[in-house]
Amino acid sequence: MIAATGLRWILTALFLLPALFALRATAAPDRASADRVGHVLHAVMAAAMAAMVWPWGTDLPAGPQILVFSLGALWFAAAPRFRSPRPASPREGLAAAVPHVVMMLAMAWMAAVMDGHATASGGPGGGHDMPGMDMSGGGAAVTMSLSGAGQQGTAVLLSVVLTAFGLLWLAQAFDRARVPATPLPAAVAEPLCHAAMALGMALTFVLLV
């Protein structure tokens, strides 16, 4: 999907770092089961995004991705009641869950869009356009772009929302880093990785427009 080699590698690194962090957090001995599930989902999401920026990413089966990320959205919506410690209030739990739910749904949507692109083009060598998709790409940076108003609008909206989430996570990481008693590896790295994931996804959606 990303034609510019340099940008492709930058995005790959931006997505693989959160994936590695999530896998490391999953293996930590002090993690609750609910937290482990969340970290596994984040690792899968980051790995899928890293794959999507490469030409072979469109060849990955979309059905399993859509299923996993849709179930992931449901999990994050329900997860606050299983987390330890539990949120102080339902509103606090909902506020913490919404960004992760949106990111999972955004992944499911992107997998569906990419699947439509691969199907309409007949695979890697195809040359047929699909409705709402410009196979030539919107510029030198990409090999495909959205041309339908509905899909473009969705991509722009997701990009704006994900950028907001990313900036909020960055602010959270900076706030935690300023607290002398904060354990930096655990408390600061997690929101930083969430921010990297959200901002990388936002950039990817912008490139599709």
What does the alpha-carbon distance between residue 77 and residue 101 come to, in Å, rounded to a whole number?
6
Report, as an integer, the average pLDDT of 4-16.
93
Tens-place pLDDT, residues 149-171:
889 999 999 999 999 999 999 99
The conformation of residue 2, written as its DSSP 8-state character, comes to B
What does the alpha-carbon distance between residue 42 and residue 60 come to, in Å, rounded to a whole number?
18
Q: Comparing 12 with 93, which gets the higher pLDDT?
A: 12
Q: 66 and 15 in contact (C-beta within 8 Å)?
A: no
Average pLDDT of every residue of the chain: 84
Could you tell me the pLDDT band of residue 192, with boundaries at 50, 70 and 90?
Answer: very high
What does the alpha-carbon distance between residue 206 and residue 7 come to, in Å, rounded to a whole number?
13
Q: 89 and 24 in contact (C-beta within 8 Å)?
A: no
Phi first, then psi: what are they for 7, rounded to 5°?
-65, -40
Helix ranges, the chain (H): 5-27, 33-52, 62-78, 90-120, 149-177, 184-187, 189-208
* Structure token pair of residue 79: 């997860």
Share of the chain above pLDDT 90, in %: 53
pLDDT at 69 over 90: yes
Nearest of 122, 95, 206 to residue 157 by alpha carbon: 206
Domain range annotation of the chain: 5-208
